[in-house]
Structure 1
Amino acid sequence: MRIAAVLSLPRYCLRLLPILICLTCAPMPALADEGDLDEPVQVPEASPPPADPVEPDPDEASADPPAAMEADPPAPVEAAAESSEPPAEAVAAEPELPSPFIMLDGEVPPGEVRQLSWIASESFAGISVPTPVLVAHGLQTGPIVCLTAAVHGDELNGIEMVRRIFYGVDPKELSGTIVGIPIVNMFGFRRNSRYLPDRRDLNRYFPGSPTGSSASRIAYSLFENVIKHCDALVDLHTGSFHRTNLTQIRADLSNPKVLELTQNLGALPVLNSRAQGGTLRGAANRAGVPTITLEAGEPGRFQPKEVAAGVKGVRTLLNKMGMVKKTSLWADPQPVFYQSNWLRADTGGILFSKVELGDEVSRGQVLGTVTDPITNNRSEIRADNDGRILGMALNQVVIPGFAAYRVGIPKTSEEVAEEQPEPDPPETEPPSEDNAQILLDESGSDVPETTTAGTEPPDSGAVVADDEAGEPATAEPAPPPPAPIDELEAEERPD
């Protein structure tokens, strides 16, 4: 019957019959004996090979444990986990970098110093004049401090201060950002002049106006594009009109934020003075940017001693603000002057000084003499208070009433606490036509002049007023002929 069943299959099945017979008759134990397997494999239960390891050879038994240890899977997993832990900790400890600093359509990556450009205004030839702006952006977050120099084009010491500060700081070690404009008044700098080409004083037009005079537009551009984006401002100046200043700070100490800035500047003398309307310091303080003026030396010269003192003060400020780690120690305490007097010549002639900048003087001491070159008559200028020479005129020909010496009257910490200066109006109060700008006439008395900060006050002829830094006035020829009332020259006060 089996043969009949086979013969009844289709032909194609008959063709596969020899192959099926060969596979069925093949000895399975032979396959198990010839297999070269390191580990047990699944074989039919009837196969004899699994019985062989029942009585293993002693040598083979001793070799089995190491093989099992090598095959243990948890060990490699633990090793991999241990090796992966240190990189994870390193990534977690790495501080997050601050965002790039963006200003004036430029971008400064963290840890770099770059030069941007501020287009102040078009020149009289219709060509834009770019002004370099240096930016050092640190790898760590922190405040934005701005340094401005040469707002008056002939004041050179501040230019060198900015250079030394920027190229002496490592941006990779800096926390925060330093913005520096070495030459604000590029027009005056190129002409070795204090003023703009139209003889306006740029430091009388802040915060400026986009539709005003050239000076007002330049002031507006600087204020809106740079100053308002900073957390603090140090405006660098020198004396003016053949006068020199001891390296010192001018600040409104009734402003708590400004007072804090002055306390971070080491041992530089501090003179309390309220900013006049139209000055960069006054406009910035009103806008909420704490601002101080750093005075050092005389115009038209680079003076290494004064520059070094100013750089040391600014670096101390950056250190106290947590921006840099390097600092220099000051041997002397910081003197504070809440009062100062200008001493003037009573006669005309040649001024010969007997004191030097920074000298301590006593009441009645002769500070200098004025000698008439024709009659040889000589008059003396004496101190009217004990104090320190904060500013003085260089030896030159003077006229009666010429301000020759500025004597600062020091106050102790107890006196400062007891005699706080009268507070200014709120800094946020917008300027108006009713705001009175207090000037000092030739006799030193207060003369109110109604002027709006940042606008163009009418020309008053000879310059007779002290400026926001307290510089005395020096007469200069008035520009001919007078212009319409809205374009008249601003009051020309030194500094």
Structure 2
Amino acid sequence: MPRKDKNPPFILGEHRVEAGQRAEISLSVGSFLTHEDLVLKTIVVHGKTPGPCLLLTACIHGDEYNGAEVVRRILRTPAIKQLKGTLIAIPIVNRPGFVTRTRYMPDRRDLNRLFPGSATGPLGSRLARVLSQEILPLCDVAIDLHTGAVNRPNLPQIRITVDDAEALKLAKSFAPPVILSAPKRDGSYRGTCRDLGKPILLFESGEALRLDTPSIRFGVQGVLSVMRQMEMLSSKTKSSRAKSTPIISTKSYWERAPRGGIFTPLAPLGQVVNEGGVLGFIADPYGSAETEVICSRSGIVIGRTNDATADEGDGLFHIALTSQLDSAEDRIAQTSEALPSLNADTDDHPVPYDSIQDTVV
């Protein structure tokens, strides 16, 4: 039998990872006010045989914990032992935010607006530079894991950049309920990937500060599906879950509070809403009036606030526009009800909460 080519060593900065090895590498970023070093802790899994390189990141926003749990489970899945190519995994990009349970860097800047970064800028900018200049050029594809903000859960969805055919192909393999195609945003990690010609999938699901079942399972199964599509993993390990066809949207908007008061939502995540329909209502705390929240344009609810109160102009419902409305609700319901099943090794600590249905499973 012909001998398979051995994978050459993977080089990250001054670090060398041999074929078939896994290494934890700490890349220097800067120092805290305590004189302690801030490092970007990176896990490199280098397969025995050649293949593409996937970069998997989470917690660019420090309080978006679902992503870190997805990465942890990917690193523990037995299929990774048969990896072809290289997986670079960074479970926690924004370590200061993760430790302090906040979205931002210590100076209150949003790390996802500081890319591609600078070697002489503030700490967040230096962190962005290490990721975009030292790690990103080594990969072929990137997957970035996010959630909604605090009390703002998102329906599982993939966001890609407009006119990125390779990202769209991989997003369909990920098979979320919704794919949202949008222009790149200056200063964002997604925008930097686009500038470097790296296809990137941005997975959004659930909310900050909370783990939930759909986000974790969709994330794990989606990443593994993309790795199979990239031929990094054997297709023999495919999930038994039948993939649905995602709804594709090229535009979305926020339905905002018409006035301030106590907010009661009536439309759940994943529901198709029609122009002129009632999404909820805002009540005067003193009991004198109620104002309906009317849907401006038909679409799918992909994000929503769970806050009980709102000021005038606050975003209440994030609605994706699509030409596939006739079949959208049934397809999303089918996707959400058939949660990916993970084996016991991967789903080692099942999370009982389902933020989409707001139930314990």
Query: What amino acid does structure 1 have at the position aligned with 2:140?
Result: D
- Residue 238 of structure 2 is matched in structure 1 by 327
Q: 2:284 aligned with 1:372, yes or no? A: yes
Deviation (angstroms), 1:197: 0.8
Asked if structure 1 preserves the Cα contact closer than 8 Å seen for 2:40 and 2:127, the reply is no
Q: 2:6 aligned with 1:97, yes or no? A: yes
Which digits, 9 at most, give the CA deviation of each residue in 1:256-313, with x for residues without a partner?
Answer: 3322332322244101111210000101110121112110110011112211111111
Q: In structure 1, how many angstroms separate the alpha carbons of the residues matched to 2:30 and 2:160?
A: 29
Deviation (angstroms), 1:132: 2.2
1:81-480 residue pairs with structure 2 within 5 A?
93-325=2-234, 326-328=237-239, 329-412=241-324
Query: What amino acid does structure 1 have at the position aligned with 2:68?
Result: I
Which digits, 9 at most, give the CA deviation of each residue in 1:42-61, with x for residues without a partner?
Answer: xxxxxxxxxxxxxxxxxxxx
Which digits, 9 at most, give the CA deviation of each residue in 1:427-483, with x for residues without a partner?
Answer: xxxxxxxxxxxxxxxxxxxxxxxxxxxxxxxxxxxxxxxxxxxxxxxxxxxxxxxxx
Asked if structure 1 preserves the Cα contact closer than 8 Å seen for 2:178 and 2:246, the reply is yes
SS at structure 1 position matched to 2:174:
coil
- Farther-moved stretch of structure 1 (112-121 vs 284-293): 112-121
TM-score normalized by the length of structure 2: 0.84
Which digits, 9 at most, give the CA deviation of each residue in 1:176-198, with x for residues without a partner?
Answer: 11111000000111111111111
- Farther-moved stretch of structure 1 (126-135 vs 389-398): 126-135
Asked if structure 2 preserves the Cα contact closer than 8 Å seen for 1:364 and 1:383, the reply is yes
Query: What amino acid does structure 1 have at the position aligned with 2:258?
Result: D
Q: In structure 2, how many angstroms separate the alpha carbons of the residues matched to 1:154 and 1:297?
A: 12
Deviation (angstroms), 1:358: 1.1
Deviation (angstroms), 1:361: 2.2
Deviation (angstroms), 1:376: 4.2
Question: For the aligned residues, what is the CA RMSD?
Answer: 1.8
Q: In structure 2, how many angstroms separate the alpha carbons of the residues matched to 1:286 and 1:223?
A: 11
Q: In structure 1, how many angstroms separate the alpha carbons of the residues matched to 2:68 and 2:303?
A: 20
Asked if structure 2 preserves the Cα contact closer than 8 Å seen for 1:153 and 1:194, the reply is yes
Q: In structure 2, how many angstroms separate the alpha carbons of the residues matched to 1:322 and 1:104?
A: 26
Q: In structure 2, how many angstroms separate the alpha carbons of the residues matched to 1:330 and 1:352?
A: 35
Q: In structure 1, how many angstroms separate the alpha carbons of the residues matched to 2:286 and 2:19?
A: 66
Q: In structure 2, how many angstroms separate the alpha carbons of the residues matched to 1:138 and 1:391?
A: 38
Q: In structure 2, how many angstroms separate the alpha carbons of the residues matched to 1:406 and 1:265?
A: 22
Q: In structure 1, how many angstroms separate the alpha carbons of the residues matched to 2:176 and 2:214?
A: 15
SS at structure 2 position matched to 1:406:
strand
SS at structure 2 position matched to 1:226:
helix
Which digits, 9 at most, give the CA deviation of each residue in 1:364-387, with x for residues without a partner?
Answer: 222111112124421111223332
Q: In structure 1, how many angstroms separate the alpha carbons of the residues matched to 2:15 and 2:80?
A: 17
Larger RCO (CA under 8 A, 6+ residues apart): 2
SS at structure 1 position matched to 2:214:
helix
Q: In structure 2, how many angstroms separate the alpha carbons of the residues matched to 1:365 and 1:277?
A: 35
Query: What amino acid does structure 2 have at the position aligned with 1:327?
Result: K
- Residue 70 of structure 1 is matched in structure 2 by none
SS at structure 1 position matched to 2:98:
helix
Percent identity for Structure 1 against Structure 2: 34
Q: In structure 2, how many angstroms separate the alpha carbons of the residues matched to 1:120 and 1:183?
A: 14
The runs of 5 or more residues in structure 2 that have no matched partner are 326-361
Count of aligned pairs: 322
Q: In structure 2, how many angstroms separate the alpha carbons of the residues matched to 1:376 and 1:143?
A: 63
Q: In structure 2, how many angstroms separate the alpha carbons of the residues matched to 1:318 and 1:411?
A: 30
Asked if structure 2 preserves the Cα contact closer than 8 Å seen for 1:154 and 1:300, the reply is yes
* Structure 1 or 2: more strand by fraction: 2
Asked if structure 2 preserves the Cα contact closer than 8 Å seen for 1:266 and 1:317, the reply is no
Task: Summarize the Cα distance change of 1:169–1:118 in structure 2 as closer, same or farther, 3 Å threshold.
Answer: farther
- Farther-moved stretch of structure 1 (388-397 vs 170-179): 170-179
SS at structure 2 position matched to 1:238:
strand
